[in-house]
Amino acid sequence: MSNTRVSQAIVFVGDNTDDIVLDATNGALTVGLGLAVALNLDGADQNTLDKLAVVFAHAAAVSRNRSLRQVA
% of the chain exceeding 70 in pLDDT: 89
What is each CA distance from 39 to 4, 14, 47, 64, 66, in whole angstroms? 10, 16, 16, 24, 27
* pTM higher than the cut 0.85: no
- Indicate whether 42 pLDDT > 70: yes
At residue 70, the pLDDT reads: 87
Q: Is the dihedral of CA 25, 26, 27, 31 positive or negative?
A: negative
Q: What's the pLDDT tens digit per position in 8-32?
A: 567 778 888 999 999 998 888 999 9
Phi, psi (5° rounding) for residue 52? Answer: -60, -45
pLDDT for res 36: 80
Other C-beta atoms closer than 10 Å to the C-beta of 25 total 8
How far is it between the farthest Cα atoms of the chain? 47
Q: How does residue 7 score in pLDDT terms, banded at 50, 70 and 90?
A: low
